């Protein structure tokens, strides 16, 4: 099962797409109520890096989303 590309509204600080504020899943806007954890994942070789966020949405559910720095896209991780 592949991860789903999503639209994210993010705070952009000193680096692009720094911190998610809200995102869209199946046409529904979900506000980020809390960031539970965040980390970076390096890929072998020159395949880039992902910034991963485990978040709680204002709908009460937890999500794992990430920003792929090489592709410059946000994804919802299918776990």
| 67/15 Cα distance (integer angstroms) | 12
Q: pLDDT per residue over 29-47, tens digit each?
A: 999 999 999 999 998 777 7
Q: pLDDT per residue over 18-29, tens digit each?
A: 789 999 998 999
- Whole-angstrom CA distances from 41 to 22, 25, 28, 68 are 22, 23, 28, 10
Domain carrying residue 48: 4-76
| 58/26 Cα distance (integer angstroms) | 16
Total domains in the chain come to 1
Q: What is the pTM of this model?
A: 0.86
């Amino acid at each position: 099962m592949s991860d789903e590309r999503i639209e994210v509204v993010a705070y952009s600080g000193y680096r692009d797409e720094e911190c998610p504020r809200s995102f869209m899943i199946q046409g529904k806007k979900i506000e980020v109520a809390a960031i539970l954890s965040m980390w970076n994942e390096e890929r072998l070789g020159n395949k880039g890096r992902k910034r991963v966020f485990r978040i709680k949405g204002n709908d009460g559910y937890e999500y794992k989303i990430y920003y792929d720095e090489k592709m410059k896209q946000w994804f919802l991780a299918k776990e």
